[in-house]
Amino acid sequence: MISRDAPPRGNVQPNDSDKITRGIRIHAAPRFIAERSDPAAGRWFFAYTITITNASSQTVQLVSRHWIITNAKGEVEEVEGPGVVGQQPILKPGETFEYTSACPLETSMGTMHGTYLLVGPGGERFEVEIAPFTLAEPFTMN
């Protein structure tokens, strides 16, 4: 969803990440999804919401993604593909695009980071960084 409203800044959690590259702000907010997880079977499920804000003075289009996902065993999976959630959003200056996706892990903790490939005016291609964020099952005390 594209909007012209700035994302809220007061709701940043410890596992979130936030990075600005060339005026493009990428904020990641992960969360554990207990109802889709089965720790006894070695399956943990996490969702993450990404907010992309174009704080630059130029219109850009997100054309592809590259994720690096690392579980607690140090096993790495790379995911590359066109756009995000089936879209290749165009963001004018001041616009924001937000989407939610998910990631299964075989461990209760892991990290994600990566890059988006964007195209600017005149076809200039450049990458923006998605800073590392933590996927972690919340610790509860009994």
**Is the pTM of the predicted complex or chain greater than 0.85?**
yes
Predicted local confidence at residue 10, as pLDDT: 52
SS3 15: coil
Give the count of domains, the chain.
1
The answer to whether residue 139 sits within a structural domain is no
pLDDT tens across 62-79, in order?
A: 999 999 999 999 999 999
Q: Which residues span the domain enclosing 43? A: 2-131
Mean pLDDT along residues 104-132: 97
Distance of CA 9 to the CA centre of its chain: 16
HSE at residue 46, side-chain half, CA atoms within 13 A, is 26
Backbone angles phi, psi at 6, to 5 degrees: -70, 145
Residue 140 resides in a domain: no
pLDDT in tens, 83-94: 999 999 999 999
Kindly state whether residue 68 falls inside one of the protein's structural domains.
yes
Give the tens place of pLDDT for each residue, 1-55. 555 554 445 555 778 999 999 999 999 999 999 999 999 999 999 999 999 999 9
Give pLDDT, residue 82.
97
CATH (domain of 7):
2.60.40.1470
pLDDT at residue 8 in the model: 47
Asked, for residue 12, whether it belongs to a domain, the answer is: yes
- For residue 60, CA distances in Å to 4, 100, 114, 115 come to 14, 20, 18, 15
pLDDT of residue 71: 97
Does residue 19 sit within a domain? yes
What confidence score (pLDDT) does residue 24 get? 98
Q: Per-residue pLDDT for 97 more than 50?
A: yes
Whether residue 142 is contained in a domain is answered as: no
Beta strands in the chain (DSSP E): 2-3, 17-21, 24-32, 44-54, 60-71, 76-82, 90-91, 96-105, 109-119, 125-136
Distance CA 27, CA 89 (A): 16
Which residues share a beta bridge with 11? none
- At residue 4, the pLDDT reads 54
Q: What is the full DSSP assignment across 62-85?
A: EEEEEEEEEETT--EEEEEEESBT
